[in-house]
Amino acid sequence: MLRYIMILLLALGMSSASCLAGEYPDKSIRIIVPFNPGGGGEQAARLIEKEFKELTGQPLSFIYKPGGTGLIGMTELARQKADGYSIGIHSYPLLVLDGITGRARYTLDSFDFISLLCLEEVYLAVSADSPIKSAEELIAQARANPGKVNLGICEIMGPTHIPALRLKAENVPFNHVSIDGAGKVAPALLGGQVDAAIVPSGGVSGSIGKMKVLAVFSPERSKRFPDAPTLKELGFDINSAVGRYIAAPHGLKPEQRAYLENTFKTILARPDVAQRFENAGSIATWKSGDDLRKMFEAYIPEGQSMVDFYKKSQK
């Protein structure tokens, strides 16, 4: 009798384990970060790491694949099995621009978009000890010395380069200097490698105290830097923002996609999480995967015009 009881208990235990193994997720989820550690992408993911584990019961496992302004990491993500255990964090609108320029082998159709996490303001800044006092002064210098005032940007054909190109189209001929990531902007400013820079708020949150924000590329003034005018106030209808979002390889099971989408939606609705993002210089902002896709598609015409302008400016 004891033998039969033991066999029954063993069978029940195996059945229970089998049921648990079928639940999603039942292991850690890899999140590919296509930028260097310490940048705005990783920071955004780290801000929700604790809540993600609390809700799912599983940790995020960070995998760094920097290079090519996110190109290498997103190529890696597109190659992963669509099993719900590989996701990635990327920055809007780089994915769209990579497709337009032909740099990427992937397209929008290569991914299932899950959730927008946050938006970051974009600033025109100089080092804190720079003799330049205002955006008007900096712009005047660039116009008086075409191609000689060095302006740092954090990527080629991205949310800091696009406003620089639009300024160039408005006869503000800075010399654009590409810096490998927002985390290296402050050293470049302090070291005199560039005279000014266009930076994302989240990406430089840890070093913003070493900078002087001269203007903001937003429709309204920044709550964080209320004395800095918008570019529109300066006579330029130029806006820019960095959107951090979550994507997965295309082909997720509908229930897995819905689970992940609802998880991030729940996390971003928490007031303490919103405050955490605000403290880091960004705004917690949720959008569904479908709305994200629509946002990317809507940007394509503007992105194409900027790519065309960039190509002409290189001739």
CB 290 within 8 A of CB 265: no
Q: What is the pTM of this model?
A: 0.84
CATH of the domain at 271: 3.40.190.150
Same domain flag for 115 and 136: no
**Helices 161-169 + 289-313 axis angle, to 10:** 50
Tens-digit pLDDT profile for residues 245-278: 999 999 999 999 999 999 999 999 999 999 999 9
Report which of 296, 308, 290 is spatially closest to residue 102, judged by C-alpha positions: 308
Model confidence at 209: pLDDT above 50: yes
Q: Are β-strands 196-200 and 86-92 bridged in parallel, bridged antiparallel, or unpaired?
A: unpaired
Looking at the fold, whether 230 and 264 belong to one and the same domain comes out as no
Please check whether residue 24 lies inside any domain of the structure.
no
Give the C-alpha separation, 253 to 36, whole Å: 30
Q: Which residue has the tokens 């001739």?
A: 315
Q: For residue 150, which phi and psi values (nearest 5 degrees)?
A: -80, 125
Q: Please give the pLDDT value at position 36.
A: 83
One domain for residues 133 and 232: yes
Same domain, 226 and 299: no
Task: Show which of 193, 212, 240 is a domain's final residue.
Answer: 240
Same domain flag for 142 and 236? yes
187 dihedral zone (left: phi>0; alpha: psi -120 to 50; beta)? alpha
Question: What band does 315 get if pLDDT is binned at 50, 70 and 90?
Answer: low
- Whether residue 132 is contained in a domain is answered as yes
pLDDT in tens, 211-227: 999 999 999 999 899 99
Contacts of 294 by beta carbon, 8 Å cutoff, 6+ apart = none
Q: What CATH code is carried by the domain that includes residue 179? A: 3.40.190.10
The answer to whether residue 9 is domain-embedded is: no
108 with 126, same domain: the answer is: no
Domain shared by 228 and 135, yes or no: yes
Is residue 23 one of the residues assigned to a domain?
A: no
d(CA 15, CA 92): 45
3-28 residue pLDDT tens: 443 343 334 443 333 333 459 999 99
Question: If we measure between CA atoms, which residue out of 284, 253, 263, 269 comes closest to residue 119?
Answer: 284
Q: Cα–Cα distances in Å, from 100 out to 66, 131, 240, 267? A: 21, 39, 18, 33
Residues 109 and 140 in one domain: no
Which of these, 295, 270, 285, 276, lies nearest to 113 by C-alpha position? Answer: 295
Q: Which domain holds residue 180?
A: 121-240
Kindly state whether residue 16 falls inside one of the protein's structural domains. no
Range with the poorest average pLDDT among 11-15, 151-155, 184-188, 309-313:
11-15
Which of 240, 257, 284 delimits the end of a domain? Answer: 240
The whole-angstrom distance between residue 273's C-alpha and the CA centroid of its chain comes to 17
> Is 177 within a domain?
yes
Chosen domain end from 240, 275, 291: 240
Does residue 250 sit in the same domain as residue 294?
Answer: yes
Please report whether residue 21 resides in a domain. Answer: no
> Within this chain, do residues 135 and 107 fall inside the same structural domain, yes or no?
no
Q: Residue 260, SS3?
A: helix
Domains contained in the chain, number: 2
pLDDT at 271: 97
Between the CA atoms of 207, 123, 115 and 105, what dihedral angle is there, to the nearest 10 degrees? -100
Please report whether residue 274 resides in a domain.
yes
Residues 183, 258: one domain?
no
Residues 99 and 41 in one domain: yes
